[in-house]
Amino acid sequence: MTAPCTADTATTESNRADAPRPAGPCQREAARINAEHDAVVGAEREALLHAIKAGELLLAVKRRVGHGAFLPWMEEHCSFTPRCGQRYMALARALGTKYDTVSHLTLSEALALVREPAERPPWLGLKRLTVTLEFESTEAHARYWALLGALHARGDPVPAVLHALECYVESQSFLDASA
Q: Do 37 and 110 belong to one domain?
A: yes
Dihedral of alpha carbons 78, 79, 81, 85, sign: negative
**For residue 174, what pLDDT is reported?**
56
The pLDDT of 22-36, averaged and rounded, is 80
Domain membership of residue 13 (yes or no) is no
Q: Do 101 and 172 belong to one domain?
A: no
Look at residues 66, 96, 115 and tell me which one is the last residue of a structural domain.
115
The pLDDT of 106-124, averaged and rounded, is 69
Q: Do 103 and 157 belong to one domain?
A: no
Q: Do 41 and 111 belong to one domain?
A: yes
Look at residues 89, 115, 141 and tell me which one is the last residue of a structural domain.
115
The pLDDT of 71-90, averaged and rounded, is 90
Q: Do 110 and 124 belong to one domain?
A: no
**For residue 105, what pLDDT is reported?**
77
The tens digit of pLDDT for each residue in 38-57 reads 888 888 878 888 888 999 99
Three-state DSSP class for 129? coil
- Whether the pLDDT of residue 124 is over 80: the answer is no
**For residue 118, what pLDDT is reported?**
57
- Answer for the pair 107, 48: CB distance below 8 angstroms, yes or no: yes
- Which tops the pLDDT comparison, 121 or 48? 48
The range of the structural domain enclosing residue 94 comes to: 29-115
1-9, long-range: CB < 8 A, 24+ apart: 5/29
**Is residue 10 very low, low, confident or very high in pLDDT (cuts 50, 70, 90)?**
very low
Domain membership of residue 14 (yes or no) is no
Q: Do 125 and 58 belong to one domain?
A: no
Q: Do 152 and 169 belong to one domain?
A: yes
As a whole number of angstroms, the distance between CA 36 and CA 20 comes to 19
- Whether the pLDDT of residue 1 is over 50: the answer is no
Q: Do 34 and 106 belong to one domain?
A: yes
CA distances from 60 to 27, 46, 48, 65, 66 (A): 49, 21, 18, 9, 10
Domain membership of residue 22 (yes or no) is no
**For residue 79, what pLDDT is reported?**
92
Look at residues 98, 115, 132 and tell me which one is the last residue of a structural domain.
115
Q: Do 108 and 127 belong to one domain?
A: no
Q: Do 127 and 111 belong to one domain?
A: no
- Whether the pLDDT of residue 16 is over 60: the answer is no
Q: Do 82 and 129 belong to one domain?
A: no
Q: Do 143 and 104 belong to one domain?
A: no
The pLDDT of 72-101, averaged and rounded, is 85
The pLDDT of 143-156, averaged and rounded, is 79
Please state the domain count of the chain.
Answer: 2
- Whether the pLDDT of residue 3 is over 50: the answer is no
- Answer for the pair 151, 164: CB distance below 8 angstroms, yes or no: yes
Which stretch of DSSP H or E encloses residue 87?
Answer: helix 82-95
Using alpha carbons only, what angle is made at residue 172 by residues 122 and 146, rounded to the nearest 5 degrees?
Answer: 80
Domain membership of residue 12 (yes or no) is no
- Answer for the pair 96, 56: CB distance below 8 angstroms, yes or no: yes
